[in-house]
Each structure stands twice: as structure tokens, then as C-alpha cells.
Amino acid sequence: MVKLKGMTWNHVRGYAPLVAAAQRFRQLHPEVEMEWDRRSLKDFGDYPVDLLAREYDIILIDHPHVGICSEQGVLVPLDQHIPAAYLRDQAENSVGPSHRSYEWGGRQWALAVDAAAQVASYRPDLLPAADVPRTWQQLIELAESLPPGQKVGWPLCPTDAMCSFLTLCAGIGGGEFFDEAEGVPHPVGEAALERLLALLPLLHESSLGSNPIQMYDRMSTRDDIVYIPFAFGYTNYARAGFSDKLIRFADIPGDSGEPRGGLLGGVGMAVSAFSAHVPLVLEFAMYAASGETQRTVYVESGGQPGHAAAWRDDAANRSCSGFFRDTLRTLRLSYMRPRNRAFPAFQEQAGVLLHDALKQHAAGGAKAKPAEIIAAMNKLYREACASTGNH
């Protein structure tokens, strides 16, 4: 018996489709047993992949880490082992830049088994689809006009505050707004902060303490959050029976109605260079990421596939209230973060800085000006570059 160990993240979307795919894979390979461990959502973004690679055969990773991983030599370069035709199919059926986000240094370091970006969401029983904001101005008008007891929510815990800030920056400044030598350009960053701060007093009181899962849990069990403009999407909440109340998902609001700049998320399946069973692990990765598995087993088990075959599939869309079709435009226009060595540490530290500033504004205390916040962020970025040797 061959025992393979995998590491994913602790949400039904993160582990259930992998468990199901492993069970199907065992029908092809009865001698293979797969065990899946889970790490928290925060650890998924922060825990060093090089440590995981020494313990697990298969690792689900976040794409901003590929620059570090490639230099550490802890992952298998997939393009050296997987047929070119297979990788070409993955690239041609990528949901937005998902497949490309795991390329670095001319190599492919993971397969995009899960696709996500910051999208919008709403309670269809409380907000008609025709009233879902398409522009920033419509968002402000909605937040100002909701009846007592109903609010716009926005997950703004430190990590997600930074993600939303980057989404706003990309919507204002375009997909190449970030300067990998200096950080966030002041005009773009200040404009993004001004928007965030303008909406802050109108938001639900749980916003600053919530991540997307926590806010969706509240949104789907109470009636006080009607709409969320920016948060990583989860098909689970759009599936009948998953929660008390159904949530539907939509494109994010944009300046001209174009949903541009939603921060790219998702999950890539990587293979540890330390695995004693690399050929077998590669075979499983190809099975899990294939279009057929993605649109059937993966969707049916609560997953959020990275292969476009699932996003176009009628049955897949029926299973989750049209989630894939209703957010695909946002995914196609999504923003991919820098993947250099400095960025992961910078994002974490800048998120804490931004969150502290938002709390100060919400409390009415001493308030840092947008220019001061951006200057402090860029100081953190320069320090991260210096500490990691990212020049």
C-alpha cells in the first residue's frame, strides 16, 4: 500500500473535492491511499511552503508564494514532467489568469484546481438583482438608502482589508499599478483609500472584524447584511441547503460598470520535490485538475474549479445558482498580485497597518491621512525588499 499525504485548507471548498477526487483516483489505483490534512485560512496564506514540502507529497498553495518556492527548490517543476498538450489545455481553459499565476521563471509550479477572485454578493430575497450596484456611485447610493436594520457588509479584517485595497487600486490604476521597486503609487493608493474611508461609516459594524467566511455565515443566517461589494467568492453559499438563506454572487462594481481589478485568489496544486512517489502524485494532480474531473467530481463535492469547462457547464451553474456565469467576467478581468520574494511579507504587514488605520477612523480618534498611510505602506515594502534581497 502506498500512502500519500496532502495538505489543503480547512473549509469544505478546500478539502471535500480533494477527498472525493482521491476516492475516485483509488478506483484506478487500489494500492494508493491518500490522507488530507488541513490548515487554517490564515495559515494557508502565511505558513512557509518549504516546511510543508518536507512533510507532504501534495500541497495546495497560494500563488503569491511561487517566487519564493521556485528559488527554494522545494516543488517539482511540472512542465518538466507533465505533457505539453495537457498544460496547453490548462492554459487555454484558465479562469482569468489563474493558470498563469503559478508560472515563474519559465516553469509551471502548480495546477489551478481552484479559481477565485474578489466578487460581489447579495441576498436575493432582500435585494433584487436589478438593484445590485454596477458602479461605485450606485454602491454609495445603496448603502445610504437601505432601511433601518439592513447594511452593506465588507470583510475588512487585516488580510482582507489589504486585499480589498489592492482591488480598489487595480480598478483605479490598472493591472500594472504596483511598482515592484517602490510599492503603491501615491495617486492610486490615496484614491483607493479615500473610497474605502468614504464607505466605512455606512458599513455593517461586523465588517472590520470579519473575513469572507465569517461575513457569509452571518449574511446567510441573519437579515442585516444585504450586499457585499468585494470579498473572495464561495460557491458553497450559493448552493441550496448549505445555509439558512441563499446568497447569490455577482460582478464587482466598477467606475464605468466594468468589473475590473478584483484581486485574484484561488488555489494551486503543487507537488513536493521531497516526495518519494512523484510520478504517482503527478498523475493524481493531472486527474484532479482535468476538465472532466473539475466539472463533475470537483463541483459536485462543493469545490470551486479552476478549469473553465466547469464555469461554462450548465449543470455546474444550476448547482450553485449561476455562480460561475455570474462572476466569470470579474474573474477574467481580475488582478494578479506581484509574486516576488518580498510581497507575501509586505501584504501581511501592510494589512495590519491598514486595519489599524481603519479602526482609528471608525472610532473617530486621531486619523492618519491617506498620504501618510501610503507612505507607511511603501516603507514596509522597501524594508521587505531589503530583508529578502528582492531587488
Tell me the per-residue pLDDT of 338-368, one tens digit each, with 9 for 90 and over: 999 999 999 999 999 999 999 999 998 778 8
Comparing CA positions, the residue from 283, 304, 285, 286 lying closest to residue 295 is 304
Residue 391 has pLDDT above 80, yes or no: no
pLDDT of residue 153 exceeding 70: yes
Which residue in 289, 304, 281, 278 sits closest to 90, CA to CA? 289
Lateral strand order in the sheet of 225-232: 151-152, 225-232, 118-122, 248-250
Please state the rounded mean pLDDT for residues 258-279. Answer: 97
Cell of residue 208, nine digits: 472590520
Concatenated DSSP letters of 106-173: TEE--EEEE--BEEEEE-TTTS-GGGS--BHHHHHHHHHHPPTT-EE----SHHHHHHHHHHHHHHHH
| Beta bridge partners of residue 271, listed in sequence order | 58
State how far the Cα of 358 lies from the Cα of 57, in Å rounded to an integer.
41
> For 369-391, what is the mean pLDDT?
94
253, 138 contact by CB (below 8 A):
yes
Average pLDDT over residues 151-163: 97
Over residues 366-382, the mean pLDDT reads: 94
Cα–Cα distance, 228 to 252 (Å, whole number): 9
- Give the CA distances from residue 59 to residues 86, 192, 318, in Å, rounded to whole numbers and listed in that order: 20, 34, 30
Residue 221 CB neighbour total at 10 angstroms: 11
Q: What is the pLDDT of residue 390?
A: 78
Report the phi/psi class of residue 78: left, alpha or beta, with left for phi > 0 and alpha for psi in -120 to 50: alpha
Alpha carbons 374 and 166: distance in angstroms, whole number: 12
pLDDT higher than 90, residue 388: no
| Residue 383 binned pLDDT confidence (cut-offs 50, 70, 90) | very high
- Percent of all residues in the chain with a pLDDT value above 90, rounded to a whole number: 91
Q: Which residues contact 247 (CB under 8 A, 6 or more apart)?
A: 121, 122, 123, 216, 219, 220, 237, 238
The model's pLDDT over 167-222, given as tens digits with 9 standing for 90+, comes to: 999 999 999 999 999 999 999 999 999 999 999 999 999 999 999 999 999 999 99
For position 364, what pLDDT does the model report? 85
Say yes or no to pLDDT of 254 above 90: yes
Query: Over 70: is that where the pLDDT of 151 sits?
Result: yes
pLDDT of 253 over the 90 cut: yes
Q: What is the pLDDT of residue 44?
A: 67
Model pLDDT, residue 328: 98
pLDDT at position 39, please?
83
C-alpha 216/C-alpha 244 separation (Å) is 11
Residues 288-314: what's their mean pLDDT? 97
Q: Cα–Cα distance between 321 and 330 in angstroms, integer?
A: 17
Nearest to 268 by CA among 65, 52, 124, 57: 65
**pLDDT at position 368:** 87
Q: What is the pLDDT of residue 324?
A: 98
**Mean pLDDT, all residues of the chain:** 95
Question: What pLDDT does residue 367 have?
Answer: 81
Domains of the chain: 2-116+265-327 (3.40.190.10), 118-263+340-388 (3.40.190.10)
pLDDT classification of 373: cutoffs 50, 70, 90: very high
pLDDT recorded at residue 365:
72
Give the residue-averaged pLDDT of 121-145. Answer: 97
Give the model confidence (pLDDT) of 315-331 as tens digits: 999 999 999 999 999 99
Note the pLDDT of residue 283. 97
Per-residue pLDDT, 45: 64
330 in Cβ contact with 123 (< 8 Å):
no
State residue 47's pLDDT score.
75
- When pLDDT is averaged across residues 53-74 and rounded to a whole number, the result is 92
Q: Taking Cα atoms as reference points, which of 173, 194, 153 lies closest to residue 357? A: 194
Angle between helices 370-388 and 343-363 (to 10 degrees): 160
| Cell output for 274 | 521531497
